[in-house]
Amino acid sequence: MSVVEFSPALPAIEADSMLTNAGIRIVQNPDMVQTHRLILATIGDVTKLSQSETVLTIFPASWELIASVPVSRCAGSVGIPPSAHNLTSGQPGAWYIGGSETLLTWSLAGQTTQISRDRVIEMVGKSLEEWSSYAQIRFTYTTNTTARRNLNLQFAPRDHGDPYPFDGRGGVLAHAFYPPPYASDPLAGDLHLDEDETWSEGGSLDFSSVILHEIGHTLGLGHSDRPGTVMYPYYRKLDRLQPEDIKALLRLYPARTEITGSLTNSVNAPSETQAESVNLSGIVTGGSGSAEVTWTSMGLTGKAEGGRSWTAAGIPLARGINVITLSARDEAGAVATQNVSVTRTFGLPIPTPTPEPVPTPPAPTPAPTPAPTPEPTSPVTTPEPTTPVATPSDTVSPSIKILSPSTTVFSTTASTIRISGSARDNVGLKSVVYESGSTVGAAEGTANWSFEMPLNVGDNQIIVRASDEAGNTGWRSLLVTRR
């Protein structure tokens, strides 16, 4: 599935009509941004759609959107023309004026009653540190909310002094203003949050995750089209930048010089296991001060315990190859990483023992019975035709297996991959379709199916669905990384 973003100037009814008239299926999702539509379309339909002047961009849907998991959305940044939704690759950020380090201040104006002011300042500070740990940017807190080159954070309800009022609880959570010249002072770089929302620490509406995302906008980053990144337009709980976010940041600002440090990892887990999780441990050397170690795998992130002599327990494993990235960071901001590969193998099922047969005692010999007296016969009658009893509608989803490649996480240097598998249904299969980003197609065959998938450089999330005549669907997915 894909998300298509229309121009805000196009009325919603016209956007829906454009898709319907093109034969594109709109998948209803109440959490979508007003200008977004979740669609299921062929490659040809997506190509034609992208040529429309009213379509700003088309990007892959996250698994949360595909599975109808409730999500919170970002309205996007304010002040940049839609045609320049993302700054050009290689262009310096608007705050960057040459030299090495970019100096910015930040302030807190309006305050929420849901989280203490001191705690808000602490959490915002940590999010700013996350961005500045990769780029040469220095943030300094100030009480001067109208200073130049200042990022002013404000909690406010509905109408709050700019042309973009909030919509109350459950809608748009926040908006941010790009740096000048894309937005003008005094709003350039400011960040506004809807006070009517239920803000929390680590809850369903995680304050830190939203702040981390919106700070990216204040620095000049647009939305990412890659699910699982901090800058994807639909929030998810993340407290660390993902590689795609870091690449976008370093297109705009000089990279921070890494302080010498090393991550030495002595793994106490086998390279192969049948377990659903693995425990890792290691030692951080070099750098200065204390250190914190985090791990990332399959889009999940966690923190290790123990500081420089650390242990990370219960890291979940998918079947197949799992690449776990371990990042160590010291007090001076030095970052050192190491990748560990752990393969979760398929275990053979334990055969069920066959029970010993229980001897059956011989049946007693029955006593002879007198021959029955024949009953008088009745004329044969033709039975009345019976009305067929309606069977209940089919509600059983098809089962589907991906047989090749044999792992759910796969790496290759090829530009295409042949994917095959099998599907079964209690009544009958109708179709097997596949999608990856904006690439959608039908597989060859149903009970035994296959298709050729072109691969983009990087991660390719591929979803295969089997459908029956009643509309029930079953699906499987795999992640293919093209190196």
Instruction: Tell me the torsion sign for CA atoms 447, 452, 456, 457.
Output: positive
> Mean pLDDT throughout 350-375?
50
Helix (H) or strand (E) segment spanning residue 216:
helix 207-218
362 pLDDT more than 70: no
Catalytic (active site) residue 214? yes
Considering 83-87, 207-211, 221-225, the range whose residues carry the highest mean pLDDT is 207-211
The CA angle 186-188-191, to the nearest 5 degrees, is 100
Q: What confidence tens digit (pLDDT) does each residue in 415-424 have?
A: 899 999 999 9
Question: Which residue is it, tokens 């407290």?
Answer: 239
Q: What confidence tens digit (pLDDT) does each residue in 102-160 have?
A: 888 888 887 787 888 888 888 888 899 899 888 888 888 888 888 888 898 988 888 87
Task: Determine contact, residues 45/58, Cβ cutoff 8 Å.
Answer: no
87 pLDDT more than 50: no
Q: What confidence tens digit (pLDDT) does each residue in 407-450 have?
A: 766 778 888 999 999 999 988 899 998 887 667 788 999 999 99
| Region of poorest pLDDT, from 136-145, 218-227, 325-334, 340-349 | 340-349
Nearest to 295, CA basis, from 310, 274, 275, 273:
310
Domains and CATH numbers, the chain: 2-58 (3.30.70), 77-250 (3.40.390.10), 261-344 (2.60.40.10), 399-482 (2.60.40.10)
> Mean pLDDT throughout 342-352?
53
What per-residue confidence (pLDDT) applies to 422? 93
The CA angle 414-420-426, to the nearest 5 degrees, is 160
229 pLDDT more than 70: yes
Tell if the pTM clears 0.85, that is, is over it: no
Please give the mean pLDDT across all residues of the chain: 76
Which residue in the list 214, 292, 356, 435 is annotated as catalytic? 214
The residue type at 260 = T
* Phi–psi pair at 366, nearest 5 degrees: -75, 150
Question: Considering all CA atoms of the chain, what is the largest pairwise distance in Å, rounded to the nearest integer?
Answer: 116
Nearest to 35, CA basis, from 19, 46, 51:
19
How sure is the predictor about 95, in pLDDT bands with cuts at 50, 70 and 90? confident
**Is the bond into 186 cis (omega within 30 degrees of 0)?**
yes
* Bridge partner residues of 415 (DSSP): none
Contacts of 327 (CB under 8 A, 6+ apart): 240, 263, 293, 294, 295, 296, 335, 336, 337
Taking the C-alpha atoms of residue 30 and residue 470, their distance in angstroms, rounded to an integer, is: 25
**Is the bond into 82 cis (omega within 30 degrees of 0)?**
no
Hey, what's the torsion of the CAs at 389, 393, 395, 396, to 10 degrees?
50
> Mean pLDDT throughout 243-266?
70
Hey, what's the torsion of the CAs at 107, 108, 110, 115, to 10 degrees?
170
> Mean pLDDT throughout 187-194?
85
Sheet hosting strand 320-330, strand order edge to edge:
272-273, 335-344, 320-330, 291-297, 300-303
Q: Pick the residue with more confidence: 267 or 343? A: 343
**DSSP string of 115-156, one letter each residue:** S-HHHHHHHHHHHHHHHHTTBSEEEEE-S-TT-TTEEEEEEE
Taking the C-alpha atoms of residue 284 and residue 265, their distance in angstroms, rounded to an integer, is: 8
346 pLDDT more than 70: no
478 pLDDT more than 90: no
Task: Decide: helix, strand or coil at residue 106.
Answer: strand
**Is the bond into 405 cis (omega within 30 degrees of 0)?**
yes
